[in-house]
Structure 1
Amino acid sequence: MANDMMNWHKDLFDHLNPLDLNAMNTLFNDFGQSLDHVTGHTGALLKTDIQETDEQYTMQIDVPGINKADIALKYRDGRLSIGVKRDSFSDDSDAAGNMITSERQTGRFGRQYPLPDVDATKIEAHYDNGVLKLTLPKKAAADTQHIEIQ
């Protein structure tokens, strides 16, 4: 199932290096945080949970601080694309300019998910309290195209 494709990265470092994984995770987490300032990406947007059954995929995507109207969904060629935009936010809590750090971002963000055999006409999406919940029913077995090699 596609669940295997989605989770391949979780065991990647287990197979590459038998060193202390906690130390390695700390190293990579710190490295990623230092790159946040260069790339402007904090990784806080579009964190996703995906479940799969024989009948459907179910997704929950965190999109905090995003208006429902600023979320775009598209399913094409076995991929679900999600785009969000946050044009601006205002934080007038520190008029004196004493801001120590600001990690909130404006701009456009997106992510793609490989989800094969979805019936795009039956996708359902609901947005509530900063969480986008999607149900993506799979095509019936007769609708999928399997080619047998002779």
Structure 2
Amino acid sequence: MANDLTRRNNFLDNMMNMRNWMNDDFFSDLAPVADHMKTDISENDKSYTVKVDMPGFAKKDIHIDYANNILSITGHRDTFSDDADKEGNVLHSERRYGQMSRQYRLPDVDRSAISAHYENGVLTMSLPKLQADNSNDSHIEID
């Protein structure tokens, strides 16, 4: 009986290890966005504030666009110039290169007033909201 229980536990352990291995391998291509562009967005009556973690990017390699109520942020890294040893062998590498991007729906932003600042791997943006223009109010009072 104990032998059957041990075999069953070993089988379950092996299945869990295989599942973990398959998930790690299958989802590894999705990891760069989730791991490298974590975002905080806050909102008040006058603006949105967006903070995006983009460590290792040069400011010149970050592109920001706002169109049709969508904020798009794209970062691009070409290669890394460091070697693991004298022969250039890399034992383990988790850093990625290529293009990563995210999009966020933020309606009614005053495009001309958006500001962005990049420091210590964090992109911080202020997106002021459009102010309602009450001078063109089409409402007509009835006497």
**TM-score between the two structures when normalised by the length of structure 1:** 0.68
Q: 1:72 pairs with 55, 60, 63, which one?
A: 63
Question: 1:63 Cα shift?
Answer: 0.5
2:83·2:89 contact (CA, 8 Å) conserved in 1?
no
Question: In 1, Cα distance between the equivalents of 2:93 and 2:108?
Answer: 41
Question: In 1, Cα distance between the equivalents of 2:84 and 2:111?
Answer: 44
**What amino acid does structure 1 have at the position aligned with 2:31?**
H
Gaps of 5+ in 1: 1-28, 144-150
Is 1:51 the counterpart of 2:52 in the alignment? no
| Distance of aligned partners of 1:120 and 1:74 in 2 relative to their CA distance in 1, 3 Å threshold | same
Question: In 2, Cα distance between the equivalents of 1:30 and 1:138?
Answer: 46
Is 1:126 the counterpart of 2:117 in the alignment? yes
CA offset digits 1:79-117 (Å, max 9, x no partner) = 000111001112223334653321111111111000000
Partner of 2:130: 139
Structure number with greater Rg is 2
Partner of 2:105: 114
| Distance of aligned partners of 1:55 and 1:40 in 2 relative to their CA distance in 1, 3 Å threshold | closer
How many residues are treated as equivalent by the alignment? 115
Partner of 1:23: none
Partner of 2:92: 101
Question: In 1, Cα distance between the equivalents of 2:44 and 2:21?
Answer: 36
**TM-score between the two structures when normalised by the length of structure 2:** 0.71
| Distance of aligned partners of 1:55 and 1:32 in 2 relative to their CA distance in 1, 3 Å threshold | farther
Identity of aligned residues (%): 46
CA RMSD across the alignment: 2.4
CA offset digits 1:38-91 (Å, max 9, x no partner) = x26332221101000010000111110000000000000000001110011122
Question: In 2, Cα distance between the equivalents of 1:128 and 1:31?
Answer: 37
Partner of 2:12: none
Superposition misfits of 4+ residues, deviation over 4 angstroms = 29-32
